[in-house]
């Protein structure tokens, strides 16, 4: 097995991170589309990104898990991968810098448009705009991400549902956000795993090869 690993390598295939630039482009395209389906997708993208949520955490959200406060919205995640006892974890989403990219305003707009008063937050919407009651699955998150980035000109094969979470970590690292603050949002228990994301997102930040005069 060691010989096979030496011959073929062990580096896993990484999907691209939907960083803030990719996300803004995708949101701009979705904003051109009328109807509840595009609004739902915008809310899903923004909440998933700003909360650094896993796909399963995003689709598991119920209305009872959402609390709007003066500073934004607080999400209660009933069970995270790092919360095996199910004690629940709170994740705060502040207001965005613009209405189009604000997770709080977009989430509120979706809830009001869909008339959701209980149960799952992210539900099915057919192509005709009829809002259903079925909770989206983690696979649906991947479909939404791929469709949105493709509309914005990116290759959908490069992205996955996990791209929202990795995109937040990448964008935060590039913006110089402290490691502990990124960890607070993402819920990573393992610092080596988190640092792997941070390193990939910071490869061109203070890069030594850019400073040698080439």
Enumerate the active-site residues: 54, 81, 162, 165, 188, 197
Written as six digits, the tokens of 35 are 């109807």
Cβ-proximal residues to 81 (8 Å cutoff; 6+ apart), any chain: 54, 187
Mutual orientation of helices 103-114 and 36-50 as an angle, nearest 10°? 140
Nearest to 152 by CA among 25, 2, 41, 46: 25
User: Cα dihedral sign for 155, 158, 161, 166?
Assistant: negative
The answer to whether residues 17 and 169 touch, using CB atoms and an 8 Å cutoff, is: yes
d(CA 98, CA 177): 20
For residue 93, give the 3-state DSSP assignment.
strand
- For tokens 């990219």, name the residue: 101
The answer to whether residues 135 and 59 touch, using CB atoms and an 8 Å cutoff, is: yes
The answer to whether residues 39 and 113 touch, using CB atoms and an 8 Å cutoff, is: yes
């Amino acid at each position: 097995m060691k010989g096979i690993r030496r011959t073929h390598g062990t580096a896993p295939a990484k999907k691209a991170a939907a960083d803030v630039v990719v996300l803004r482009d995708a949101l701009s395209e979705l904003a051109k589309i009328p109807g509840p389906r595009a609004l739902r997708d915008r809310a899903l993208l923004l909440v998933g990104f700003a909360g650094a949520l896993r796909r399963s955490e995003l689709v598991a959200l119920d209305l009872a898990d959402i609390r709007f406060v003066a500073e934004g919205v607080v999400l209660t995640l009933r069970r995270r991968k790092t919360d095996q006892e199910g004690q629940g974890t709170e994740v705060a989403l502040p207001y965005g810098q613009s209405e189009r990219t604000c997770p709080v305003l977009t989430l509120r707009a979706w809830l009001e448009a869909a008339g959701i008063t209980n149960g799952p937050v992210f539900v099915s919407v057919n192509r005709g705009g009829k809002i259903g009651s079925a909770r989206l699955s983690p696979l649906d998150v991947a479909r939404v991400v791929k469709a949105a980035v493709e509309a914005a000109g990116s290759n959908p094969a490069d992205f996955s549902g996990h791209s929202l979470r990795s995109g937040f970590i990448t964008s935060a690292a590039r913006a110089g956000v402290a490691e502990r603050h990124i960890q607070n949002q993402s819920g990573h228990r393992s610092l080596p795993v988190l640092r792997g994301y941070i390193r990939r997102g910071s490869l061109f930040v203070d890069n030594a090869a850019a400073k040698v005069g080439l």
